[in-house]
Amino acid sequence: MLNFPNDSLNTAQIIFQSHDQYQVIFADRSVHQATLAGRMQLADTLPLIGDFVSGQVYDQDKFLITTLLPRQTLLTRASNQQDQAIAANVTTVFITMSLNADFSTSRVERYLTLVWDSGATPVIVLTKTDLEPELLVQRQLELEAIAFGVPIITTTSTTPLVAREQLNAYLQPTTTAVFVGSSGVGKSTLLNILAAQQLQSTKAVRGGDDKGRHTTTARQLFYLPNGAALIDSPGIRGVGVASSTTTATAQSFPDITSLAQQCRFNDCQHEQEPGCAVQAAIANGELSAQRLADYRRLLRETEYSTMNSRQITAAKIKRMVGNKKNLRRR
Ligand SMILES: Nc1nc2c(ncn2[C@@H]2O[C@H](COP(=O)(O)OP(=O)(O)OP(=O)(O)O)[C@@H](O)[C@H]2O)c(=O)[nH]1
Ligand SMILES: [Zn+2]
Protein backbone atom coordinates (compact mmCIF):
# COMPACT_ATOMS: atom_id res chain seq x y z
CA MET A 1 0.00 0.00 0.00
CA LEU A 2 1.14 3.53 -0.72
CA ASN A 3 1.90 5.98 2.05
CA PHE A 4 -1.25 8.13 2.16
CA PRO A 5 -2.17 10.74 4.80
CA ASN A 6 -4.99 8.55 6.11
CA ASP A 7 -6.33 5.00 5.82
CA SER A 8 -9.72 5.94 4.40
CA LEU A 9 -10.71 3.96 1.35
CA ASN A 10 -12.17 7.18 -0.06
CA THR A 11 -8.78 8.95 -0.15
CA ALA A 12 -7.03 9.26 -3.49
CA GLN A 13 -4.19 11.30 -4.98
CA ILE A 14 -4.27 13.35 -8.17
CA ILE A 15 -1.74 11.91 -10.61
CA PHE A 16 -2.87 13.72 -13.76
CA GLN A 17 -4.90 16.78 -14.59
CA SER A 18 -5.93 18.34 -17.87
CA HIS A 19 -8.63 21.01 -17.64
CA ASP A 20 -11.47 19.32 -15.73
CA GLN A 21 -10.27 15.77 -16.40
CA TYR A 22 -8.39 14.13 -13.57
CA GLN A 23 -6.76 10.80 -12.88
CA VAL A 24 -6.38 9.60 -9.31
CA ILE A 25 -4.54 6.74 -7.67
CA PHE A 26 -5.65 4.85 -4.55
CA ALA A 27 -3.35 3.52 -1.87
CA ASP A 28 -3.65 0.09 -3.50
CA ARG A 29 -2.16 1.68 -6.68
CA SER A 30 -5.36 1.33 -8.72
CA VAL A 31 -5.91 4.26 -11.09
CA HIS A 32 -9.28 5.85 -11.90
CA GLN A 33 -10.65 8.62 -14.07
CA ALA A 34 -12.04 11.39 -11.89
CA THR A 35 -14.12 14.55 -12.05
CA LEU A 36 -14.92 17.32 -9.61
CA ALA A 37 -18.21 17.40 -7.73
CA GLY A 38 -20.31 20.44 -8.62
CA ARG A 39 -19.53 22.48 -5.54
CA MET A 40 -15.78 21.81 -5.93
CA GLN A 41 -15.83 23.31 -9.41
CA LEU A 42 -16.69 26.62 -7.80
CA ALA A 43 -14.07 26.40 -5.05
CA ASP A 44 -11.23 28.95 -4.88
CA THR A 45 -8.63 26.22 -4.72
CA LEU A 46 -8.83 23.41 -7.25
CA PRO A 47 -7.01 20.11 -6.82
CA LEU A 48 -3.57 19.96 -8.42
CA ILE A 49 -1.25 17.14 -9.29
CA GLY A 50 0.05 15.73 -6.00
CA ASP A 51 -3.04 16.71 -4.03
CA PHE A 52 -4.83 14.23 -1.81
CA VAL A 53 -8.60 14.29 -2.18
CA SER A 54 -11.55 12.34 -0.92
CA GLY A 55 -14.70 11.36 -2.76
CA GLN A 56 -16.75 8.47 -4.02
CA VAL A 57 -16.42 5.76 -6.62
CA TYR A 58 -19.33 5.61 -9.05
CA ASP A 59 -20.10 3.66 -12.25
CA GLN A 60 -17.76 0.87 -11.05
CA ASP A 61 -14.47 2.63 -11.71
CA LYS A 62 -14.98 6.40 -11.87
CA PHE A 63 -14.23 8.74 -8.98
CA LEU A 64 -16.09 11.88 -7.92
CA ILE A 65 -13.83 14.30 -6.04
CA THR A 66 -15.71 16.00 -3.22
CA THR A 67 -13.03 17.30 -0.85
CA LEU A 68 -9.50 18.65 -1.15
CA LEU A 69 -7.34 17.51 1.79
CA PRO A 70 -4.85 19.92 3.41
CA ARG A 71 -1.59 20.43 1.52
CA GLN A 72 1.80 19.94 3.12
CA THR A 73 3.71 21.94 0.50
CA LEU A 74 2.90 23.96 -2.60
CA LEU A 75 5.27 24.56 -5.49
CA THR A 76 4.46 27.74 -7.41
CA ARG A 77 5.94 29.77 -10.19
CA ALA A 78 5.51 33.43 -10.98
CA SER A 79 3.48 34.12 -14.06
CA ASN A 80 2.97 37.83 -14.75
CA GLN A 81 1.63 39.32 -11.52
CA GLN A 82 0.28 36.09 -10.14
CA ASP A 83 1.71 33.01 -8.57
CA GLN A 84 0.69 29.90 -10.39
CA ALA A 85 0.43 26.74 -8.35
CA ILE A 86 1.99 23.81 -10.16
CA ALA A 87 2.22 20.86 -7.76
CA ALA A 88 1.13 20.01 -4.23
CA ASN A 89 2.77 17.92 -1.53
CA VAL A 90 6.21 17.81 -3.15
CA THR A 91 8.72 16.93 -0.42
CA THR A 92 11.97 16.88 -2.41
CA VAL A 93 13.11 18.97 -5.36
CA PHE A 94 16.12 17.79 -7.34
CA ILE A 95 17.71 20.96 -8.71
CA THR A 96 19.34 19.55 -11.81
CA MET A 97 22.20 21.16 -13.69
CA SER A 98 24.93 19.87 -16.01
CA LEU A 99 28.52 20.60 -15.07
CA ASN A 100 29.33 22.07 -18.47
CA ALA A 101 27.13 24.31 -20.62
CA ASP A 102 24.30 24.85 -18.17
CA PHE A 103 26.31 25.51 -15.03
CA SER A 104 25.32 28.63 -13.06
CA THR A 105 25.47 29.05 -9.31
CA SER A 106 23.13 32.04 -9.43
CA ARG A 107 20.51 29.89 -11.09
CA VAL A 108 20.92 27.36 -8.27
CA GLU A 109 20.42 30.16 -5.75
CA ARG A 110 17.17 31.12 -7.44
CA TYR A 111 15.99 27.54 -7.42
CA LEU A 112 16.92 27.16 -3.76
CA THR A 113 14.75 30.14 -2.92
CA LEU A 114 11.87 28.69 -4.88
CA VAL A 115 12.18 25.35 -3.11
CA TRP A 116 12.48 26.76 0.42
CA ASP A 117 9.46 28.89 -0.35
CA SER A 118 7.40 25.85 -1.32
CA GLY A 119 8.06 24.00 1.93
CA ALA A 120 9.97 21.20 0.18
CA THR A 121 13.62 20.22 0.66
CA PRO A 122 16.21 20.78 -2.09
CA VAL A 123 18.89 18.40 -3.36
CA ILE A 124 21.37 19.67 -5.96
CA VAL A 125 22.17 17.26 -8.79
CA LEU A 126 25.20 17.95 -10.96
CA THR A 127 24.78 15.90 -14.16
CA LYS A 128 26.88 14.81 -17.15
CA THR A 129 30.04 14.52 -15.10
CA ASP A 130 31.47 12.31 -17.87
CA LEU A 131 31.56 15.22 -20.31
CA GLU A 132 34.23 17.37 -18.68
CA PRO A 133 35.51 15.41 -15.69
CA GLU A 134 38.34 17.91 -15.16
CA LEU A 135 35.69 20.49 -14.17
CA LEU A 136 34.14 18.38 -11.44
CA VAL A 137 36.13 19.42 -8.38
CA GLN A 138 35.88 23.12 -9.23
CA ARG A 139 32.13 22.86 -9.80
CA GLN A 140 31.60 21.06 -6.52
CA LEU A 141 33.53 23.75 -4.68
CA GLU A 142 31.49 26.50 -6.34
CA LEU A 143 28.27 24.75 -5.36
CA GLU A 144 29.39 24.08 -1.80
CA ALA A 145 30.04 27.80 -1.40
CA ILE A 146 26.37 28.57 -1.99
CA ALA A 147 24.62 25.38 -0.86
CA PHE A 148 24.93 25.73 2.94
CA GLY A 149 24.30 22.14 3.83
CA VAL A 150 22.01 21.35 0.90
CA PRO A 151 23.19 17.94 -0.35
CA ILE A 152 25.04 17.91 -3.67
CA ILE A 153 25.11 14.72 -5.70
CA THR A 154 26.86 14.09 -8.99
CA THR A 155 25.61 11.79 -11.73
CA THR A 156 26.47 10.53 -15.16
CA SER A 157 24.33 8.40 -17.42
CA THR A 158 27.44 6.34 -18.20
CA THR A 159 27.11 4.70 -14.75
CA PRO A 160 23.33 4.46 -14.29
CA LEU A 161 23.48 2.14 -11.30
CA VAL A 162 25.63 4.62 -9.39
CA ALA A 163 23.29 7.46 -10.37
CA ARG A 164 20.29 5.46 -9.21
CA GLU A 165 21.91 4.72 -5.87
CA GLN A 166 22.79 8.40 -5.37
CA LEU A 167 19.19 9.49 -6.05
CA ASN A 168 17.58 6.62 -4.14
CA ALA A 169 19.21 7.87 -0.96
CA TYR A 170 16.65 10.71 -1.12
CA LEU A 171 13.68 8.66 -2.28
CA GLN A 172 11.89 7.17 0.72
CA PRO A 173 8.32 5.78 0.68
CA THR A 174 7.18 9.16 2.10
CA THR A 175 8.94 11.18 -0.61
CA THR A 176 7.30 13.00 -3.50
CA ALA A 177 10.04 14.35 -5.71
CA VAL A 178 10.37 16.50 -8.82
CA PHE A 179 13.29 17.30 -11.08
CA VAL A 180 13.68 20.92 -12.10
CA GLY A 181 16.32 22.47 -14.32
CA SER A 182 17.00 23.73 -17.82
CA SER A 183 16.07 21.77 -20.89
CA GLY A 184 18.63 19.15 -21.88
CA VAL A 185 20.43 18.76 -18.56
CA GLY A 186 19.34 15.12 -18.27
CA LYS A 187 16.18 15.11 -16.16
CA SER A 188 14.39 12.51 -18.30
CA THR A 189 17.53 10.41 -18.38
CA LEU A 190 17.58 10.33 -14.57
CA LEU A 191 13.85 9.62 -14.38
CA ASN A 192 14.33 6.71 -16.75
CA ILE A 193 17.24 5.40 -14.72
CA LEU A 194 15.06 5.51 -11.61
CA ALA A 195 12.10 3.87 -13.22
CA ALA A 196 14.41 1.47 -15.09
CA GLN A 197 12.14 1.75 -18.10
CA GLN A 198 11.52 4.25 -20.85
CA LEU A 199 8.95 6.47 -19.20
CA GLN A 200 9.95 9.55 -21.10
CA SER A 201 11.65 9.57 -24.44
CA THR A 202 14.90 11.51 -24.45
CA LYS A 203 16.04 13.20 -27.61
CA ALA A 204 19.55 14.11 -28.60
CA VAL A 205 20.33 17.73 -27.83
CA ARG A 206 20.60 20.11 -30.75
CA GLY A 207 24.10 20.28 -32.21
CA GLY A 208 26.45 22.67 -30.46
CA ASP A 209 24.35 24.60 -27.98
CA ASP A 210 23.65 21.67 -25.64
CA LYS A 211 20.03 22.71 -25.32
CA GLY A 212 17.50 19.92 -25.35
CA ARG A 213 14.06 19.85 -26.84
CA HIS A 214 11.09 19.42 -24.65
CA THR A 215 10.16 15.84 -25.18
CA THR A 216 7.85 15.50 -22.21
CA THR A 217 4.27 16.50 -22.73
CA ALA A 218 1.97 14.95 -20.15
CA ARG A 219 2.01 16.15 -16.59
CA GLN A 220 1.98 13.14 -14.36
CA LEU A 221 2.80 11.60 -11.03
CA PHE A 222 4.04 8.04 -10.82
CA TYR A 223 5.10 5.76 -8.00
CA LEU A 224 8.36 3.86 -7.89
CA PRO A 225 8.32 0.26 -6.62
CA ASN A 226 9.53 1.35 -3.15
CA GLY A 227 6.57 3.76 -2.77
CA ALA A 228 8.35 7.04 -3.51
CA ALA A 229 6.47 9.30 -5.93
CA LEU A 230 7.94 11.30 -8.79
CA ILE A 231 6.16 14.10 -10.60
CA ASP A 232 7.25 14.89 -14.10
CA SER A 233 5.84 17.60 -16.31
CA PRO A 234 7.18 20.30 -18.58
CA GLY A 235 5.47 22.92 -16.42
CA ILE A 236 7.34 21.83 -13.34
CA ARG A 237 10.69 21.09 -14.92
CA GLY A 238 11.09 24.57 -16.26
CA VAL A 239 9.94 26.56 -13.22
CA GLY A 240 11.67 29.87 -12.95
CA VAL A 241 11.77 31.86 -9.77
CA ALA A 242 8.39 32.28 -8.18
CA SER A 243 7.57 35.53 -6.47
CA SER A 244 9.18 34.33 -3.31
CA THR A 245 9.10 35.90 0.04
CA THR A 246 12.10 37.73 1.37
CA THR A 247 12.27 35.06 4.05
CA ALA A 248 12.93 32.35 1.53
CA THR A 249 15.67 34.42 -0.08
CA ALA A 250 17.19 34.91 3.33
CA GLN A 251 17.11 31.15 3.88
CA SER A 252 19.28 30.68 0.81
CA PHE A 253 21.80 33.20 2.19
CA PRO A 254 22.19 32.37 5.89
CA ASP A 255 25.69 33.90 5.94
CA ILE A 256 24.41 37.32 4.89
CA THR A 257 21.28 37.13 7.01
CA SER A 258 23.23 36.45 10.17
CA LEU A 259 25.74 39.23 9.42
CA ALA A 260 22.88 41.64 8.68
CA GLN A 261 21.57 41.14 12.19
CA GLN A 262 24.70 42.90 13.42
CA CYS A 263 24.27 45.94 11.15
CA ARG A 264 23.58 49.18 12.99
CA PHE A 265 20.37 49.93 11.06
CA ASN A 266 17.51 47.46 10.80
CA ASP A 267 16.85 48.49 7.23
CA CYS A 268 20.53 48.48 6.26
CA GLN A 269 20.97 47.94 2.52
CA HIS A 270 24.63 46.99 3.08
CA GLU A 271 25.87 49.71 0.78
CA GLN A 272 27.67 52.61 2.45
CA GLU A 273 25.80 52.80 5.72
CA PRO A 274 27.89 53.24 8.84
CA GLY A 275 28.10 50.18 11.06
CA CYS A 276 27.32 47.72 8.25
CA ALA A 277 28.46 44.26 9.33
CA VAL A 278 28.10 42.88 5.82
CA GLN A 279 30.47 45.45 4.29
CA ALA A 280 32.83 44.87 7.21
CA ALA A 281 32.85 41.14 6.44
CA ILE A 282 33.65 41.90 2.79
CA ALA A 283 36.46 44.24 3.84
CA ASN A 284 38.10 41.59 6.01
CA GLY A 285 37.66 38.84 3.43
CA GLU A 286 35.09 36.85 5.39
CA LEU A 287 32.44 37.34 2.68
CA SER A 288 32.90 37.76 -1.08
CA ALA A 289 31.51 40.87 -2.76
CA GLN A 290 30.02 38.59 -5.43
CA ARG A 291 28.00 36.80 -2.78
CA LEU A 292 26.41 40.08 -1.67
CA ALA A 293 25.74 41.01 -5.30
CA ASP A 294 23.99 37.66 -5.86
CA TYR A 295 21.93 38.17 -2.72
CA ARG A 296 20.84 41.66 -3.77
CA ARG A 297 19.93 40.63 -7.26
CA LEU A 298 17.82 37.74 -6.03
CA LEU A 299 16.14 39.87 -3.39
CA ARG A 300 15.18 42.48 -5.96
CA GLU A 301 14.06 39.93 -8.49
CA THR A 302 11.79 38.25 -5.99
CA GLU A 303 10.43 41.54 -4.69
CA TYR A 304 9.81 42.95 -8.14
CA SER A 305 8.22 39.80 -9.45
CA THR A 306 5.08 40.56 -7.44
CA MET A 307 4.88 44.23 -8.51
CA ASN A 308 3.70 46.08 -11.56
CA SER A 309 6.03 48.55 -13.29
CA ARG A 310 4.85 51.58 -11.34
CA GLN A 311 5.34 49.77 -8.05
CA ILE A 312 8.82 48.71 -9.16
CA THR A 313 9.79 52.32 -9.92
CA ALA A 314 8.39 53.42 -6.56
CA ALA A 315 10.34 50.68 -4.79
CA LYS A 316 13.55 51.73 -6.54
CA ILE A 317 13.07 55.34 -5.50
CA LYS A 318 12.27 54.32 -1.95
CA ARG A 319 15.39 52.19 -1.84
CA MET A 320 17.57 55.13 -2.97
CA VAL A 321 15.97 57.59 -0.57
CA GLY A 322 16.13 55.09 2.27
CA ASN A 323 19.88 54.73 1.79
CA LYS A 324 20.49 58.46 1.84
CA LYS A 325 18.54 58.70 5.07
CA ASN A 326 20.84 56.17 6.71
CA LEU A 327 23.90 58.00 5.45
CA ARG A 328 22.65 61.19 7.06
CA ARG A 329 21.92 59.40 10.33
CA ARG A 330 25.66 59.21 11.05
N1 LIG B 1 27.19 12.57 -21.92
C2 LIG B 1 26.05 12.56 -21.21
N3 LIG B 1 24.89 12.84 -21.84
C4 LIG B 1 23.75 12.83 -21.10
C5 LIG B 1 23.76 12.57 -19.70
N6 LIG B 1 22.49 12.66 -19.24
C7 LIG B 1 21.72 12.98 -20.32
N8 LIG B 1 22.47 13.07 -21.44
C9 LIG B 1 22.01 13.38 -22.81
O10 LIG B 1 21.54 14.73 -22.84
C11 LIG B 1 20.40 14.85 -23.70
C12 LIG B 1 19.22 15.48 -22.98
O13 LIG B 1 18.83 14.61 -21.90
P14 LIG B 1 17.34 14.61 -21.32
O15 LIG B 1 17.34 13.61 -20.22
O16 LIG B 1 16.36 14.44 -22.42
O17 LIG B 1 17.24 16.09 -20.77
P18 LIG B 1 15.99 16.79 -20.01
O19 LIG B 1 16.58 17.59 -18.91
O20 LIG B 1 14.98 15.78 -19.65
O21 LIG B 1 15.44 17.76 -21.13
P22 LIG B 1 13.91 18.31 -21.29
O23 LIG B 1 13.03 17.11 -21.51
O24 LIG B 1 14.02 19.19 -22.50
O25 LIG B 1 13.58 19.07 -20.04
C26 LIG B 1 20.12 13.43 -24.22
O27 LIG B 1 20.75 13.29 -25.48
C28 LIG B 1 20.80 12.55 -23.20
O29 LIG B 1 21.19 11.31 -23.74
C30 LIG B 1 25.03 12.28 -19.07
O31 LIG B 1 25.15 12.05 -17.84
N32 LIG B 1 26.12 12.30 -19.87
ZN1 LIG C 1 24.50 46.23 6.50
Considering the domain boundaries, does residue 3 fall inside one?
no
Q: Is 157 labeled as ligand-binding?
A: no
Does any domain span residue 283?
A: yes
Q: Give me the CATH number covering residue 55.
A: 2.40.50.140
Q: Tell whether 289 and 322 lie within a shared domain.
A: yes
Distance CA 61, CA 305 (A): 44
Residue 230 and residue 267 in one domain: no
In a domain, 101, yes or no: yes
**pLDDT band at residue 53 under the 50/70/90 scheme:** very high
**Which ligand is closest in space to the CA of residue 187?**
1
57 and 79 belong to one structural domain: no
Output 77 or 118, whichever has higher pLDDT.
Answer: 118
DSSP character for 203?
A: -
Domain end call among 68, 93, 117 = 68
Report whether 208 belongs to an annotated binding site: no
229 & 120 share domain: yes
Q: What are phi and psi of 79, to 5 degrees?
A: -135, 110
Same domain, 173 and 227: yes
Q: Output the average pLDDT for the chain.
A: 82
35, 115: one domain: no
Find out whether 98 is annotated in a ligand binding site: no
Asked if residue 186 belongs to a domain, the reply is yes
Q: What is the pLDDT of residues 246-300, one digit of tens each?
A: 566 777 888 898 898 888 887 788 888 899 999 999 999 999 999 999 888 877 7
185 and 94 share one domain:
yes
Among the residue ranges 59-63, 147-151, 228-232, 266-270, the one predicted with the least confidence is 266-270
CA atoms within 13 A on the CB side of 267: 11
Domain range enclosing 182? 74-237
CA dihedral angle for residue 164, residue 242, residue 212, residue 191, rounded to 10 degrees: 20
Contacts of 239 (CB under 8 A, 6+ apart): 75, 77, 86, 114, 180
pTM of the model as a whole: 0.72
Beta strand 176-180 with 92-98: parallel, antiparallel or unpaired?
parallel
Same domain flag for 63 and 79: no
Smallest Cα–Cα separation from 157: which of 196, 184, 129, 198? 129
Rounded Cα distance, 276 and 327, in Å:
11
ipTM here: 0.96
- What is residue 133's predicted lDDT score, i.e. its pLDDT? 93
Whether residue 2 lies inside any domain: the answer is: no
Both 109 and 231 in one domain: the answer is yes
Ligand 1 lining (C-beta closer than 6 Å) = 127-128, 130-131, 156-157, 183-189, 202, 204-205, 212-216, 237
The per-residue pLDDT for 303 is: 62
